[in-house]
Structure 1
């Protein structure tokens, strides 16, 4: 399982930062065309991350679809390496790349289905963060030394290893069934979510806002550091690197806390850390303050990216649907981040207004989550995602 998480993280960390460069260098795409292709590609991924998990939930099998995602990734790399037109590459990204990108969701769904604790899921998410620390620099190195198509070969190689690890997990599952050693399964799926539909809708909307502000902070930081803070762009890279390095211990730490405290309470602390981080950035004046704020950024991400995943899995009993819905809050949040940057930058504060707006939206997300928790509590559910978990 840890090997699979590391490989899926590497696969995404190779493709995501390099995709725009691949479109420009291999197919001659303009900046506007890159934007449209990525938007269409993400739309295809959005649909795939709803349909494929729903199929997996019906079959109660998540490793089979995950294996198919690995095979599709190899096929995608081969097609992108051979086609010569942007139109064909776009079709390949929609038809093949969309479903292929659901593999990591299937891994988390399999964890939930097999009875893993929330701490185990968060720890697995921490392994993916480790891959993101090494993945983008390694992809840049491969492109620089071996050319743009070489990164597609690297992605295919990682996908082959993904296929191997998935086959091993499938084989282990069959051996366990034969020997009669069955893992504790997650609660069976049922149509009505245990927290109630209103609570799910509110918490999902809140996470779209939280994911949007998180994406905004990462997207605009380099521009903000160079144009507003008047620092060398190197400091933005150092800040992002420090935040990425701190994400791993933050995820592990907050994963352990899920055994003692409610998920909504931990996410509330992450929201407060996010508000402090964005306000701090809005008024930061030098590199020391920029770096000193990164622990707040890491804790904010740990709650949104780690505990948030387990919260969705616990409030929606179908592992595939819950994980797919959570992953789509990130996709929608990335879309929403564009207007946040656009409208925030035209305020009297300039680019600093982007982070003030992010702080305000994070506060709005916290309030919506609080409202969703109150609705859940009034419905009388005993879901440990919402109510404190007894210890001892």
Structure 2
């Protein structure tokens, strides 16, 4: 199976692209809250509102692009390139501008415009997979997502080195350079073998498939979407407060933040590949429910025990949770609406965005008013709600490839 996926057109390029994209995002991710709170003196709640605004803008742009992208007459890679240019501008804004208001507006605007980069890269990969062998979709997507997670293993380490040697300006310039690398590689993606006329045969013959299904009117899509939002809420509430927990509650330096982030990402990769192998035997819904139990173990652990060693040990259940959720999430949505890879990938991305928006708002406010550790109990509650919703959702019936 592993050998087969490398016969998919552009697949090695998609792998490298996803890896570099993961690095680009992860270089700055653990340190942005430290930069904004220390350099500009904003509160955790204010930082949560800042990220929530960026998430809302990303949701709007993603939704629009996702619905239109399945009907475009030009190659998806040009959407990806335009989004990556926006991401470069978004992070260079931290270097160029000094005024807090300008920094905030610049990041929100350009990060929102850059949001389609990841879902459109997934959608482009899914089209190539479908052109080759659709039955490989779940495993191929999982390997792609594991490469993205590998970027999160390397990114925080690179971020730690950049921060130690060049300060925050070096951190943001380094992030921008990784986005430039992804942009250059995206330009090398070869167009699909099938022309638009062949691609749209279904649309020409079946009028009902011309438009992606409505999210709010179809419970088979809406319930998994809400469940995924709650899972993402838990993850983003944790991500927002983990650096503050390490540096504030445990009294350690920023280097340990990078160690935690990299360890989790490193463990995710082998777990994610294992998930790809077993995904064909069990439904994505059931595996997502199982992942919730591992999340509950971790969040309960760090909510009750203030010890860095136990936090390191806890990265095992956390990485299993993330491997299943992130490794199967994209495939789950693509199985729900297989005719619309752009729309499906956008559902996955928007679930992350809404989860980020709510997670940053709730995580920031609760941290300010009740302390960092209280956030981890809310993470546990969000996971339990998600598990209940998934339990009452009907599993997807996979179509066998001919």
TM-score with structure 1 setting the length: 0.79
Separation in structure 1 between the aligned mates of residue 37 and residue 374 of structure 2, nearest angstrom: 32
**What CA deviation, in whole Å up to 9, does each residue of 1:230-274 have, x standing for no partner?**
675677665444322211111111111112221111111111211
Higher relative contact order (CA 8 A, sep 6+): 2
Which residue number in structure 2 is paired with residue 214 of structure 1?
Answer: 235
Q: Which moved more, 1:195-204 or 1:206-215?
A: 195-204
Separation in structure 2 between the aligned mates of residue 196 and residue 102 of structure 1, nearest angstrom: 24
1:112-127 alignment, distance < 5 Å: 112-114=126-128, 115=130, 117-127=137-147
**What CA deviation, in whole Å up to 9, does each residue of 1:139-167 have, x standing for no partner?**
23224323433334333332332222112
**SS of 1:336 mapped into structure 2:** helix
> 1:296 Cα shift?
1.1
**What CA deviation, in whole Å up to 9, does each residue of 1:145-195 have, x standing for no partner?**
2343333433333233222211211xx226x459xx99xx9x976533799
Superposition CA RMSD, Å:
3.7
> 1:302 Cα shift?
1.2
Separation in structure 1 between the aligned mates of residue 304 and residue 286 of structure 2, nearest angstrom: 28
Aligned length: 369
Separation in structure 2 between the aligned mates of residue 342 and residue 100 of structure 1, nearest angstrom: 27
Q: Given the superposition, is the C-alpha separation of residues 266 and 196 from structure 1 closer, same or farther in structure 2, using an over 3 Å criterion?
A: farther
Which residue number in structure 2 is paired with residue 50 of structure 1?
Answer: 63
Q: Given the superposition, is the C-alpha separation of residues 273 and 42 from structure 1 closer, same or farther in structure 2, using an over 3 Å criterion?
A: same
Determine if the alignment matches structure 1 residue 40 to structure 2 residue 53. Answer: yes
TM-score with structure 2 setting the length: 0.78
Separation in structure 1 between the aligned mates of residue 96 and residue 378 of structure 2, nearest angstrom: 44
Gaps in structure 2 of 5+ consecutive residues = 1-13
Determine if the alignment matches structure 1 residue 59 to structure 2 residue 79. Answer: no
2:180 maps to which of 150, 154, 160: 160
2:397 maps to which of 380, 383, 387: 383
Residues 274 and 362 in structure 1, CA contact (< 8 A), matched pair in contact too: yes
Separation in structure 1 between the aligned mates of residue 301 and residue 34 of structure 2, nearest angstrom: 32
Residues 344 and 357 in structure 1, CA contact (< 8 A), matched pair in contact too: no
Separation in structure 2 between the aligned mates of residue 155 and residue 289 of structure 1, nearest angstrom: 31
Separation in structure 1 between the aligned mates of residue 308 and residue 167 of structure 2, nearest angstrom: 34
Which residue number in structure 1 is paired with residue 9 of structure 2?
Answer: none
Determine if the alignment matches structure 1 residue 16 to structure 2 residue 39. Answer: no
Separation in structure 1 between the aligned mates of residue 348 and residue 252 of structure 2, nearest angstrom: 36
Residues 334 and 341 in structure 2, CA contact (< 8 A), matched pair in contact too: yes
Q: Which moved more, 1:132-141 or 1:216-225?
A: 216-225
Residues 156 and 258 in structure 2, CA contact (< 8 A), matched pair in contact too: no
Gaps in structure 1 of 5+ consecutive residues = none
Separation in structure 2 between the aligned mates of residue 273 and residue 192 of structure 1, nearest angstrom: 33
Residues 260 and 390 in structure 1, CA contact (< 8 A), matched pair in contact too: no
1:69 maps to which of 83, 108, 122: 83
Which residue number in structure 1 is paired with residue 283 of structure 2?
Answer: 262
Separation in structure 2 between the aligned mates of residue 127 and residue 360 of structure 1, nearest angstrom: 30
Separation in structure 2 between the aligned mates of residue 223 and residue 154 of structure 1, nearest angstrom: 23
